[in-house]
Amino acid sequence: GDVLRPGIVYTAVPGQHLLVEPDGTLSFSNSEKVNFTRPSADVLFRSLAAHYKTRAIAVVLTGTGTDGALGVRAIKKYGGTVIVQDPAACAYRHMPEAAIATQKADAVLSVAEIVDELVNQLMLDQFG
């Protein structure tokens, strides 16, 4: 699989989970659905947390169901950052609300604010 690189956006393949492997490469899995869905944000976030620990950043955007809430807990367990889209601005509020309900969100922001926060986080990581 590909190794995560700066400046590249990676997306899951429909019908397959996206994971970060222990060596930092990306892989896809046809394993069973999680939260009635595949790909699952929980699967991605948990694998991301285990590999990147304090450097992991999870962003929960609009979506249905509670997918992502367990992964958010994993991100925080390893000291990572959790950013959630403000449910008031979401087409589907369920995923952001579930993430907020964990009380693990570092920030609840509009999409524009999320972009600014990600840039700030990445600049801090790169330049201290």
Domain that holds residue 31: 17-127
Is there a domain that residue 41 lies in? yes
Instruction: Read off the pLDDT of residues 11-68 as tens digits, 9 standing for 90 and up.
Output: 999 999 999 999 999 999 999 999 999 999 999 999 999 999 999 999 999 999 999 9
In sequence order, the 6+-apart residues with CB closer than 8 A to the CB of 67 are: 34, 35, 37, 40, 41, 42, 95, 98
Cα 82 from Cα 40, distance rounded (Å): 16
Instruction: Tell which residue, 29, 55, 23, has the closest CA to residue 42.
Output: 29
CA distance 91 to 94: 9
47 assigned to some structural domain: yes
pLDDT tens digits, 59-104: 999 999 999 999 999 999 999 999 999 999 999 999 999 999 999 9
Look up the pTM and report it: 0.93
Whether residue 5 is contained in a domain is answered as: no
Q: Is residue 78 part of a domain?
A: yes
Establish if 52 belongs to a structural domain.
Answer: yes
**In 3-state terms, what secondary structure has residue 3?**
strand
Q: In this structure, what CATH number is given to the domain that contains residue 103?
A: 3.40.50.180
What is the count of structural domains for the chain?
Answer: 1
55 lies in some domain: yes
